[in-house]
Amino acid sequence: MDDLRTKYLEAISSAADEAALEDLRVQAVGKKGEVALQMRELGKMTPEERQVMGPKLNALKDEINAALAAKKSALADAALDERLRTEWLDVTLPSRPRRQGTIHPVSQVTEEVTTILADMGFTVAEGPQIETDWYNFDALNIPAEHPTRTEMDTFYMHRKEGDNRVPHVLRTHTSPVQIRAMQAHGAPIRVIAPGRVYRADYDQTHTPMFHQIEGLAIDRDISMANLKWTLEEFFSAFFEIDGIKTRFRASHFPFTEPSAEVDIQCSWVDGQLRIGEGDDWMEVLGSGMVHPKVLQAGNIDPDQWQGFAFGMGIDRLAMLKYGIPDLRAFFDSDLRWLRHYGFSALDVPSLVSGLSR
């Protein structure tokens, strides 16, 4: 054991880097190291010999481990000292030229969508991001047993045991803003509600926080024809392509009846998506006529008024229009990505000069 102690303590002392140190650790105290092999010999000894050799081997193992830890710390300190010696900054040098920032694609597309719909007479409405489950679910005719109300899909605010107050959630859509707008302003009304929403999902096309914009129009004689015209005009203006075809497919949403998924015309050429041409279709939003129970929750008489609603993801629109492949990159704060996909601060969307340049 004296030979082992001398051998490894000297080798550890002269180790040049952490890789060499790890090799020594494996050779000495690893599962198949020399100390471990000595430990296995204890079974062949008499009880009296084991009482003597066992503590000595454990002490040797502890001593080698302590030497390894000390040397690793010394190597880290030496590496830091070398960095501090070679990496320096002259604070008397002139400052770097100020770089111009860029507008995030989400902010840009939000402005583009708002500009188009404002030209159609929609005003912007806002609401809290932390909502009661009544505004987020009940007022929108979403039943208690609906899967979206589970904690697997919705972020609920923490409540202490026995707390009987109304549950609060991070809003899962901006539809609660429509209820608040109806309660505040009544009918007729035309509003859009852009903002952050939250759902428990994360992959290439989903993130726990993302952005939506929803539209609501209520009057005495509004129909699905008005909804179709509004959306077709919006898509033509947003993608800056005349005559984009749309396709309405029957669907089901608790807050609209009838409900429809809306697809836009597209094609794939050499792996590249082209909007407004070809024979393929891509789903972009959900829509429908506002359910009578939703109107009642907004204090509007469904026997006198009716309207349409639609909702779409701002991040998804940005991906489609500007060829961004991964939704997660929107929130990585990578300056290279922002410089590539960002917009000039002076590039203000306008229907006269163009939405984007």
Indicate the SS3 state at residue 207.
coil
At how many degrees (to 10) do helices 105-119 and 314-322 cross? 100
Q: Quick one: what percent of the chain has pLDDT higher than 90? A: 36
Which of the residue ranges 9-13, 243-247, 299-303 has the most confident prediction, judged by mean pLDDT? 299-303
Which of the residue ranges 42-56, 96-110, 134-148, 208-222 has the most confident prediction, judged by mean pLDDT? 208-222
State pLDDT tens for residues 100-142: 778 889 999 999 999 999 999 999 999 999 999 899 999 999 9
Least confident of 66-80, 140-154, 205-219, 223-237: 140-154
Instruction: Point out which residues pair with 343 in neighbouring strands.
Output: 103
Least confident of 137-146, 148-157, 250-259, 347-356: 347-356
| Rama region for 79: left / alpha / beta (φ>0; ψ in -120 to 50; rest) | alpha
Residue 257 contacts residue 289 (beta carbons within 8 Å): yes
**Does the pLDDT value for residue 90 go beyond 60?**
yes
Q: Which token pair is 146?
A: 């609906």
**pLDDT averaged over every residue in the chain:** 86
Write the single-letter amino acid at 76.
A
| pLDDT band (50, 70, 90) for residue 185 | very high
Cα three-residue angle 116-118-120, rounded to 5 degrees: 80
**Does the pLDDT value for residue 182 go beyond 90?**
yes
> What is the Cα–Cα distance from 206 to 316, expressed in whole angstroms?
9
Indicate the SS3 state at residue 318.
helix
Higher pLDDT, 96 or 102: 102
Q: Which of 55, 28, 53 is nearest to 42 (CA)?
A: 53
Write the single-letter amino acid at 51.
Q
**Does the pLDDT value for residue 151 go beyond 80?**
no
In angstroms and rounded to an integer, the radius of gyration of the C-alpha atoms of the chain is: 33
**Does the pLDDT value for residue 34 go beyond 80?**
yes
Q: Which token pair is 211?
A: 């952005």
Report the number of secondary-structure helices (H) and strands (E) in the chain: 11, 10
246-253 and 168-170 as β-strands: parallel, antiparallel, unpaired? Answer: unpaired
Cα dihedral 339, 345, 351, 354, rounded to 10, equals -50
Average pLDDT over every residue of 210-235:
93
Cis previous bond, 128, omega within 30: no
In Å, what is the CA distance from 15 to each residue of 20, 73, 298?
Answer: 6, 12, 75
- Cβ of 308: how many Cβ atoms within 10 Å? 24
Q: DSSP string spanning 236-267?
A: HHHTT-TT--EEEEEEEETTEEEEEEEEEEEE
State pLDDT tens for residues 318-333: 988 888 888 888 888 8
**Does the pLDDT value for residue 1 go beyond 80?**
no
Average pLDDT over every residue of 217-239:
92
Contacts with 68 (C-beta within 8 Å, 6 or more apart), sequence order: 12, 21, 24, 25, 29
130-132 and 168-170 as β-strands: parallel, antiparallel, unpaired? Answer: antiparallel
